Chain A
Amino acid sequence: MSRTLKLAAALAAAVAFATPVFAWTPTKSIEFVATAGPGGGTDNFARAVQAAIVKNKLIDQPIVVTNKAGGSGAEGYTYVKGMAGDPYKLVFGTSNAWQQPMVSKVAFKQTDFTPVAAMVQDEFLLWVKQDGPKDVKEYLAAMAAKNGAGKMGGAQSKDTDELLTRMIEKTANLKLIYIPFKSGAEAAVQLAGGHVDSHVNNPSESVGQWKGGTQRPLCVFNTQRLSDGPKVTATEGWHDIPTCQEAGLAIPLFQQPRTIWLPLKVTPEQVAFYVDLMKKVQATPEWKDYIEKSSQSQVFLTGDAFAKYMAEDSERVRKVAAEQGWLVGN
């Protein structure tokens, strides 16, 4: 109780002190580096933040979004890592900032960046083709009957999608073939064509196909159902999708944070400026619209809370990665 109180006090103090003039404000254009290709989840995230800032004139300087998707996003991280001391470069990513260095010999570590904030938690759902299994139990039975030949599509290798696939395998005690594609959108098209049996896309990656009646979600990897909203199809909305736990697949929570980082050697004033800017972004109607359209959950993790979250998530990823033999000595 006292912790909540302290937190509330700190928040109140932050709000009280955050409004006046800052010790630092940008004096030239800012580059948002999206560690995903155009149209990818991280790209949409960066562009939504850009749109919210530009439309509401939150700062006077122009913002440019550049895509550095090479090496599953490693290109963007490596680029910003080399910009130490430059407060005009922000890199937009996911949990891959700490996950990728664990499983791949890339040239960056999470400690090469100054964390700004995590602003969204994207959800994961289990999707099948429209005429596929009708619920999770039927799906698991069908996959078990395929005797190791059931196919799960996903974006990239040894990233969140494959991690979740391996967790499903372990929980349901079956074997799946994981097929990595360049993006979740590609995996969705492959499912619509019946080339794979399922995928675990984020809501925004497959909502178009759900509306169009080529695939549908079986369950969501969250402890509670997604929030109520307008119907997506004629009969169903996001809230009608059961959680995986209640549907018979005991993986309570699996989410992907969307994160923002500065290079190292920036001043605390500069970090504070961006933390405050992102808070303002979250209050804009454009941002609310983005959250609702993409069916993600809004969060705001910064400072110690963000660090704690990262430590916990790293531990969880490390466990699965170790079991699978993915860890590299980085």
Chain B
Amino acid sequence: MENFDLLLHGFSIALSVQHIALMVGGVLLGILVGVLPGLGAPNGVSLLLPITFGMQPVAAIILLSSIYWGALFGGSVTSILFNIPGEPSSVATTFDGYPMARSGRPTQALATAFGSAAFGALVGVVLITCLASWIAGVALQFGPAEYFAVYFLAFSSFIGVGGAPPIKTLVSLAIGFALAAVGMDTVSGSVRLTMGIDELVKGVNFVVAVMGLFGIGELLIAVEEEMDAKAVSSRIDWREVLRTIAGLPRHWMALLRSAAIGCWMGITPGGPTAASFMSYGIAKRLSPRRARFGQGEPEGIVAPETADHAAGTSALLPMLSLGIPGSATAAVMMGGLMIWGLNPGPALFTEQPDFVWGLIASMYLGNIVAVVLVMLTVPIFAALMRLPFFVIAPLIFIVCVVGAYSVSNSYLDVLLMMGFGVLGYLFKKLDYPLAPLVLAIVIGDKAEDAFRQSMLMSQGSLKIFVANPLVSTLVGLGFALLLVPPLLRAIGSWRRSSRREP
């Protein structure tokens, strides 16, 4: 239990009035940047980076990681209340969070999300504490072929579950892949699908796409349906928050499963986004309440939120131990580490134990501070739902436009966002699923890069995907998830028809 001693030492560093004050300040700031889509954790952290130059490294990383925690929590707020995910990893939260909030239970939806997020984060930190030195090596086993297998697994665990006809899912997926291909191609170095617009060389930003597809698309539908009926009369009650938290352990199976998926995806650098999608997809297959998914089922919030935060937290481990950031925010923090004179990498644990264990201890404290603070804000955010539609609609519109612009200060992004709004509206009207498209935008180009790198390495042979136990297990699981449900359905319908015929 050497790690445990080190952790206690870490607590003795992290627990000071100055550090706790930094945590509270950081978390509040984080919630703010998390709630405003387009701003997001990476921007919040990089804006504050210069302030930390004069600080002690421990104090600086506590401030920045508290912003990170706050933003992770805050990102779920707009997903649930307005169907606008502020970060790729909170897309899956909209599937059940938004319907739940719309049906008059915003308090419950938010509290469920925060509660399970806190659980996920906690599991992630415990994992880091216990296995920090050992687990670092796992990520090393991931070459391009393994990466591709993980992305394939994320796709197949999610694709098979949708209620939509397979052909519509395929169309949605294909559009997503095409959008992901826009811009500079890593493997060949050529510019693709920019259609003569020079600025598109940077590719289609995820936040821009999602704010249009979800935010504006939803707004157009709402405008068309009925304007005045949309205000939700939600009961706003502190006891409701406590009751929801007390009810969370009922979903223990989903909590544990999602935390496991999240940690695994965080360490193997699949990332929080793939984790939340995968966790939602698997919950939808395995949950006894799967029929109610998509209509405001608590487990549909628990699954993606737990996995997202478990992955987000354990993603800091590869950053510290290997110097590979698991997320954009982790990358900004890593830039900070170097400016403070620390070299992320295997040596950090032995050279800077005070810093590393102070940070790990601050993860426990920061998450506790964050969850208490966000729980306090739940009724305030839930009250937003009471605003009548004619107030909220322009607000959402403004948030989307400003958000799209602030991603990279570009008007083109605002236009694109509007275009995505129309696309989202058409998808809803024609009953096409949006989720496959979003998933393809987020991890489509990574999957493509990994596949082509694998092909370069194997000189064109597909055998690389069964070359070792790790990659063949991942690929096998992927195919199983993809093929088993339709096969079962086919057998079932064949049985029914053969019974009817004689």
Give residues in A with beta carbon < 8 Å to B. 37-39, 43-44, 47-48, 50-51, 54-55, 62-68, 70-72, 74-75, 78-79, 103-107, 149, 151, 156-159, 177-182, 185-186, 188-190, 192-196, 204, 207-209, 211-214, 289, 293
Contact = CB atoms under 8 A, between A and B. Distances in A.
A208 B344 CA distance: 6
B343 A207 contact: yes
Given A38-B328, A38-B331, A66-B408, 6 more contacts: A55-B53, A177-B457, A178-B456, A186-B324, A208-B346, A212-B345
B186 A39 contact: no
B148 to A, nearest CB: 12
A22 B338 CA distance: 33
A65 B46 contact: yes
Contact of A159 (B189, B203, B322, B346): B189
B347 A208 contact: yes
A130 to B, nearest CB: 11
A151 B50 CA distance: 40
Nearest to A189: B324
Contact of B322 (A44, A75, A192): A192
Given A78-B201, A156-B189, A208 B143 contact: no
Contacts of A194: 140
Contact of A158 (B49, B189, B343, B453): B189
B202 A181 contact: no
A291 B3 CA distance: 35
B300 interface: no
A211 B343 contact: yes
Nearest to A34: B335
B103 to A, nearest CB: 40
Given A159-B189, A189-B140, A70 B348 contact: no
B427 interface: no
Contact of A105 (B191, B347, B456): B191
A76 to B, nearest CB: 9
Q: Dominant SS at the A interface? A: mixed
Interface in B298-340: 322-325, 328, 331-332, 334-335, 338-339
A104 B141 CA distance: 33
Contact of B346 (A107, A177, A182, A214): A214
B183 A71 contact: yes
B290 to A, nearest CB: 37
B415 interface: no
Given A44-B335, A207-B343, A212-B346, A51 B201 contact: no
A213 B345 CA distance: 10
Contact of A54 (B42, B53, B449): B53
5 contacts: A47-B339, A105-B190, A177-B457, A180-B187, A293-B341
B226 interface: no
Contacts of A74: 184, 191, 201-202
Contacts of A193: 139-143
Contact of A180 (B345, B410, B453): B453
B203 A179 contact: no
A189 B139 contact: yes
Contacts of A72: 184, 186, 189
Contact of B184 (A43, A104, A214): A104
Interface of B: 42, 46-47, 49-50, 53-54, 139-144, 183-191, 198-199, 201-203, 322-325, 328, 331-332, 334-335, 338-339, 341, 343-348, 351, 408-410, 449, 453, 456-457, 459
A197 to B, nearest CB: 11
Given A44-B338, A71-B201, A104-B191, A50 B50 contact: yes
A51 B148 CA distance: 39
B331 A39 contact: yes
Contacts of B203: 70-71
A321 to B, nearest CB: 11
Q: Which 8 residue pairs of A and B lie closest in terms of their CB atoms, listed nearest first?
A: A208-B345, A212-B346, A70-B202, A157-B189, A195-B143, A107-B198, A71-B184, A71-B201
Nearest to A48: B339
A75 B409 CA distance: 12
A107 B184 CA distance: 12
Contacts of A105: 190-191
A11 to B, nearest CB: 31
Contacts of A50: 50
Given A38-B335, A51-B53, A189-B322, A149 B459 contact: yes
A147 to B, nearest CB: 11
Contact of A43 (B139, B141, B201, B335): B335
B319 to A, nearest CB: 9
B184 A70 contact: yes
Contacts of B332: 38-39
Contacts of B339: 44, 47-48, 51
Contacts of B346: 208-209, 211-214
A209 B345 contact: yes
A103 B189 contact: yes
Nearest to A188: B323
B335 A106 contact: no
B50 A54 contact: yes
Contacts of B191: 71, 74, 104-106
A74 B189 CA distance: 11
Contact of A75 (B140, B187, B201, B328): B201
A299 to B, nearest CB: 21
B408 A104 contact: no
Given A54-B53, A177-B456, A185-B324, A208 B202 contact: no
A104 B50 CA distance: 34
Contacts of A157: 185-189
A68 B143 contact: no
A229 B144 CA distance: 36
Contacts of B50: 50-51, 54, 62-63
Interface centre among B54, B184, B347 (most CB of A within 10 A): B184
Contact of A64 (B47, B142, B188, B457): B47
Nearest to B51: A54
Contacts of B343: 207-208, 211, 293
A207 B457 CA distance: 26
Nearest to B145: A195
Contacts of B323: 185, 188-189, 208-209
Contacts of A54: 50, 53
